[in-house]
Structures are given as structure tokens and as C-alpha cells.
Structure 1
């Protein structure tokens, strides 16, 4: 870990591909098998479409085999599909994916049969001592076991029902998403007309919290060229959705999560501190619980809520990924809990919400409190440098106000749950946080208008860059 810098971040281990050697990946899997999955007789193994993922999967398969267990290879599949199948099989799982980060980086996510591993599990894996062979022979990956893919498709087709999306035209921005074929198949099974756009074999790092300028422009151009009711996509491993309205305007992930929670009639919502405060202001839920950023923290809070006997527990993150802490129902059908981020459920939920309300995608937010969020990032900023800078802001109120929002009014509240989140008396919110997955410093803003949220986010990052 010290030699390569490949460590656990917000969710799973991440690092540059050149550092994710066969030895490093083998060692992490051996540690996982020793510390977490010692009782397993098989391990579900899948990956995304990054060019480095199959090689890393082979190194993981070698480690699993060397512990005397069977790797059940399910091929290139969405992360939530692998997790869902692992739960069904009551087996641990490993997914090779770097999610939304650039192609020259990658990662590994580990799952218990019950779902994502916890932060305590990460510590146990990191503390493990394992023996490595003198050389690692990479096995050839077999043909993918098909049942995992089939089960994931049936999960949503059965729950939403054939014909549900009849009359809708949905464009799918396929790029290099591992869900591109599954998403099209599910939409067509629900009777939507599907328009496939932007498919490529070159990996595209779609970050649903910081949508690239070219994707903003492309979505609007596609809206002018094609007549669709919605444009949908996901990040690389399909645990984060990207949804645009009929005009090609991308919806914010936390608003997507809020609308989905309303659609699913959630009673308890768990979401990180970075998500839009419209969740509380809407009055839609019995309780809104705030956590640190990262699905393990959301899952921990959801698990605690379920343990207290609370029903209708739904989690979502600012990236739009939706998590089910408990089963949900619709028209007499039940959808089992899936405590890991998923992109298909929010996409299908918003499309159904359009149908039920007989409205356009752009009109779904009309009854929500008028709070707007923006986010962006500074790249190639070492995490230790970001943390040191944020620590300096905590001790200098004048510099904090100047960096976050020059000319803003007095500071009302400072939240240090994760990074530094500052609420001003005008209800403007600025949140600075080092990324847990990459050398990036992220900025989240919330205001009474989209223009102000975007402007403050841009100016804040410029101020930060100047101060660094």
C-alpha cells in the first residue's frame, strides 16, 4: 500500500493503472478473502469496460483460486448487477471498476453477500498480512456466466411491468457505459422507443457530479436533432445515473434522488451532507438523515434505521446513485433491498413519474423547493494538499469568507461532517471537500438560483486555485 499508493477511497480501492499491478491486486484480494470472506466457497467476479479491467480481473481470479475458492465470472456488468446477483447467491463479490475516474486509473470494489463492505471491513483488509507467490500466473477469463445479467434485467422488467413506458421516446447516451446494452434492453422491454447515441469503444470518464462541458453541449445538440422525451446515461460502472430532459438539460443528481425517493414513497431518506436541502424543505419524508460522503456511510445509516424498525428506507447521493435500505412496493409488486448505488432504478423511476403525472421531464421539479446546486472540481490536487488548505480555512474566518464567496454576508453555520460546508446568512451554501477517490478538490454550492450556484462554484474554485 505504501509503495504503490493504491488505497481505499470513498468506495473501494483506487489508483493509477500502472500501480495496480498483478501483485497489488492479488494481495488485496487475498486480504479480502482472509479478513472478510473466509467462509465463502465461491466469489462473484465482474468488471467494467475499461481496457485495464480484464487483466485486473484475471489477477483477482488467480488470488481467489489460490485460496481454494471458485471465482464465478459474470463478465462486464453494472456494479449493482454484480452486487444484486451476489446477494441472491449469498456469496461475496469483487467488481473491477474505476467508476467515473479517467481510464488511466482503476479500482476494485469488494462486497459481502449482504452488500458493500463497511469502513471497518476496509480497515481489516488494509491491516491483513498475506503471503505472495514468487510469480502470479493469470488464468484466462472464461465465458461469462449469464444468469447474473438475466436476473438484473428481470428485477426491473418484472417490478415496473411491460408496457409501462409505452409512448415514450428515450435516447440513451451509450458511450462506454457497461450498462449500455442492458439499459436499452430494459427500456425496450418496458415498451419505450429507444434512440442509441454516442456509443464508443474508447473509455469516457462520465462524472455525474461534474458533467463535462462537451457532454452539456452534446446533450443540447442531440435534443435539437432528435425528438425525445428524455436522454439517459450512466457513469462507467452504471451505479450513477445521468438524466437530461427533453431540452437536453442534465438534472442534478441530488434532485434525481429526491424525486425517486418521492416516487418510491420513502419514509426515511438517508443522503450525504452535500445533497440539496430541498429534501428537508419538501416535507415529503418522515425523517432525513445526513451522513459523510460515500456509499458506506449512507449504508451504515440506512442499516441503523432498518434495525430500529423503520420502513421505506431509501438512500441517495449527490451523484444520483440510489440505494434501497429496505424493500419498496408499487402496484402490488415488491422490489427487494439493494444497499449499493444503482443507476437503472432512478432512470426508470423518473420516466414512470413522467408518465404518471402526464408531464415532461423538465416539469418534474416544478413542485420542489426552489433550491439549486452546482458542483465542480480542481484536478491534480494531492489529497494532503487539499486537506491542509481546508484546515487553514477553519482557522481563518476572513480567508474562509473570501475564498468561499467574496462579498457574501456573514457566516451562519459551519459543518465539518465531511470537508468544510459553510452556510451564510443568505442561505448560500459552499462546501469544499477533497475527493476520496482521486487527487481532486471538489466544490459544491447551493443557492436560490442556478445562476448564483454556478457563479459561486466557479469563483470559489478560482479563489482556491489562486490561494493554493
Structure 2
């Protein structure tokens, strides 16, 4: 048996292809999904989409073979973004599967489930799949599951999604603005959809790494150090913005018209600034910047916080009938499309905001509330996290405390979130304040009392 990790959790399954993730594992996981769909009353047909990793086709076939064992028919949508799969699931009221390992390198792949409502499963729903998977540990396929023939879809999910996104913005205003953007699609699933969207909006496109080969030209997570080429291209082409997708195109990082990386936290903040109306609500996780709180307060809008994870954001969005949601990793969720993070939506909303205001992206960024965020991780100290949280609570007696996911301390213009990792024996510290010094001081105090 391989020592490579096979990760099972609320986000689905993820492993290293050929080691911890094989066609036989995918077959078993397909069976587990099929059995769970029967419990949910969503059996029958299930949609499958995938990012551009070379391992996608054989793993999709193996999943479909496992699903067939439970009487569920898989429908192959080919390469398309995760939000395109979410949109197709909701439109057709079918559950769906996305084969992707998000920002992990090419040797990895994974399986994400989307329910027929267009939302990721809750933690309890995901646990049901995991329980079925473990119960099938002794099952073996009678034939090579990677050779299974999947039924092709009779529709283009990627094109449908791009056209649906375009309907949410002022297309004529964007066309009239004569905008130019540079998009880095990292040879992932989002390139064709981005091109379709921008063509429809008459936006001039300089496209970096658009072919969906799965051969990522740089580390695929859209962080500043990985996007120096994009920043240089924005300056070279005198573009209005640079936009970086991750491999499954559910996240978007932004570079402004000066070539400055303005990050992923600003993606959601700009969307909140543009879309949120007086009296409405939005949802973000506990580790997301308080820029959105500052933007919501003057218009009497409400920001709800959730535990970290797209499924948790989506669950509270549905409970509160929120107009918008997302996470600080560049993921924006609009329930008019689905409850899945969507880079195409973020592209469209950013262009719509530029066109509506007549301001540059640099100006829009500089008008956002000014905060500095600092992130650290340390080995987890001994004792339960409850004990750790209680010690921290004694340190900050005047703070507003949220214990949904780890523990978060809120002050008037700064906050600290401390949470245990779900996959490693570490603690994560996320602090935000008006200055780097103040953010660092919050983390220093917390680490000091824990002796880490």
C-alpha cells in the first residue's frame, strides 16, 4: 500500500494519482457517492466535469463505473470549471462531481461533490460518503474501471455558464468602456469560459496559459509570488486589469492597472462594494478580511460569518437568504448562479465595477478600507483545542468571541483567528489590523501565552 496521503473530508477526496488515488479507489468512491445519492433522493443521473489534469479522463471513467454499480448514470461534461459544474447541477437539478485538486500540483487529483441545489455537501453529508467509502474497503471491480464508457453530455456546460454570468452585469456599459485585461488561466479549466465571457463583453484579451493541458506553467495557486509574469504583462500591454484563475477556476486574484498585485481578499471586497444593497446580507468565513464589514456598515447591511470552507459559507447563505458570499481566497458566490465560488463571476463583477464608476482598478483598490493581514502557523501545543481556546480567551477578555471554528477575537478595527488545521498537527494564526505592526502584535501575544 502507498504511503502517499489520501485526504477525505468535507471538501471531498484528494490524493496523488497512481499512488493514493487510483482508478480502483475512484471506483469505490463512485460507489460510495451513488449509495449516498440514494439516501438523499438524488439518484438517477449525475453530472461529471473535470479540470485539465491528464489523469481526469481515466478517473472520471472509474467514478462512472462505480456509480453504475448503484444504478446511477454518469453524464460526462468534459473539461469545465467547478462553477460551470455547479451551475449545470442547479439548472438540471442533478447532483454533480468535479474532478479537481484545486491549486495542488499536477500529480494530485481529487473529487468534489455538488448537490442538486448547486451547493457543496454539508459536513454531515460529506461524512455519509466517507462512511460508505470505508464500508466498501473489501470491494474489488470485476473489470478495469478506467475503461468504462461514460455517456457524453448533450450540452456545453462551459459555454452555458459563461453566458449566464454575462447576464448579471451591464454588458453595454462594459463594451462602451473599451477595456483590456490580461488573464492567466494557468492551463486549467477556466480558459475557454473566460474567453467566451470576455468576447461577449467585447473586452480585449491578452491570454496567458490558456490551453487546458494541465501542465501548469507555474505554481498554480494565485498568490503574488506566482504571478510575476501576469503583473509584468499588465504593464507591458497597458491593460486595465490582470486576472489569475486557479486550475478549476473557482478563485480569482487581481492585479491592478499599475501592475500591482492586490490579492485575493480584494476580490470579495470589490464584489461586496458593487453588489450589496442596503438591508441585504452577505456571508464570509471567519478568516476573511473585515474590509467587507466596513463596506456593509454604512448601508445597514449585515455580514454573517461561517467556519472556514465553501460548504459552510453556502449553508449560512441559504439559511440567511444572503445576496452574496465568499472567502478571502478569491472566491465569490452569487446564489443567482449556484452556491459555488466562481472566478468568471469575479471577472465580470470587477469589469462591471470599473465600467460603472469610471475609475481604474488601482483607484478602486485604494478606496477600500486599509488593513494588513498576517498569517502564521506553528506546531500545535499539547492539550485539547478547547483548553487552548480558554487560555487565549483569558488574554483578550474585552474582545467579542466567536467559537464556530477555532476561536476568533474581534476588536473595533482588528481581529485574530486561531484555529487548528484539519489535516496537520498545527495551529493557524490569522490576524488583521490597520498596520502590520498591530497585526503582528496580536499574533505575538497569543503565541506568547501558548509558548509557541
- TM, length-normalised to structure 1: 0.81
Distance apart, 1:185 and its partner CA? 2.0
- Structure 2 residue corresponding to 1:150, chosen from 150, 159, 171: 159
Match of 1:303 in 2: 318
2:261 is the alignment partner of 1:250: yes
For 1:234, the equivalent position in structure 2 comes to: 245
> Which digits, 9 at most, give the CA deviation of each residue in 1:256-305, with x for residues without a partner?
21221232234111111111122222314522111100011111111111
| Alignment RMSD (CA, Å) | 3.4
1:421-432 alignment to 2 at 5 Å?
Answer: 421-422=408-409, 427-432=413-418
The answer as to 2:193 corresponding to 1:179 is no
Aligned equivalent of 1:275: 288
Which among 225, 228, 231 is matched to residue 213 of structure 1?
Answer: 225
The answer (yes or no) to whether the contact 1:370–1:448 under 8 Å persists in 2 is: yes
1:447 pairs with one of 422, 433, 441? 433
Q: Counterpart of 1:137?
A: 145
Q: Report the secondary structure of 2:54's partner residue.
A: coil
Does the alignment pair 1:419 with 2:432?
no
Cα deviation, residue 392, structure 1: 7.4
Q: Displacement, 1:376?
A: 6.5
Between stretches 99-108 and 183-192, larger displacement belongs to: 99-108
- 1:332-387 per-residue CA deviation (whole Å, 9 max, x = no partner) reads xxxx3411111111221111101111100011134433323344668xx8xxx589
Which residue number corresponds to residue 309 of structure 1?
Answer: none
Q: Name which of 156, 159, 165 aligns with 2:168.
A: 159
Cα distance between partner residues in 1 of 2:187 and 2:391: 44
| CA distance in 2 between partners of 1:36 and 1:143 (Å) | 21
Q: Given the alignment, which residue of 305, 319, 323 partners 1:290?
A: 305
- Residue 177 to residue 453, structure 1, CA distance change in 2 (3 Å): farther
Matches within 5 A, 1:369-384: 369-375=369-375
Kindly provide the CA deviation profile for residues 95-126 of structure 1, in whole angstroms up to 9, marking residues without a partner as x: 11111123232211112211222211112112
What's the offset of the Cα at 1:322? 1.4
User: Displacement, 1:441?
Assistant: 6.0
- Seen in structure 2, the aligned counterparts of structure 1 residues 153 and 319 have a Cα distance that, compared at 3 Å, is same
Unaligned runs of 5+ in 1: 307-311, 326-335, 402-408
Q: CA deviation at 1:133?
A: 2.8
* Partner Cα distance (1:342, 1:240) in 2: 6
**Hey, what's the Cα distance between the residues in 1 that align with 2:84 and 2:381?**
34
Alpha-carbon distance in structure 2 between the residues aligned to 1:63 and 1:439: 33
SS in 2 for 1:293: coil
Query: How much has 1:61 moved relative to structure 2?
Result: 1.6
Gap regions ≥5 residues in structure 2: none
- Rounded to whole Å, the distance in 2 between the matches of 1:239 and 1:453 is 32
The number of residues matched between the two structures is 431
Contact residue 10 and residue 295 of structure 1 kept, 8 A:
no
1:109 corresponds in structure 2 to 112
Q: Structure 2 vs 1, CA of residues 322 and 278 (structure 1 numbering), >3 Å: closer, same or farther?
A: same
Q: 1:52 aligns with which of 52, 55, 66?
A: 55
1:356 and 1:212, CA in 2 relative to 1: closer, same or farther beyond 3 A? closer
Of the structure 1 ranges 254-263 and 132-141, higher mean CA displacement relative to structure 2 is found in 132-141
Say if 1:49 and 1:386 are closer, same or farther in 2 by CA, change over 3 A: farther
- Which is worse superposed, 360-369 or 92-101? 360-369
| Partner deviation per Cα, 1:34-70 (whole Å, 9 max, x = no partner) | 1224652211011111232222212112112333332
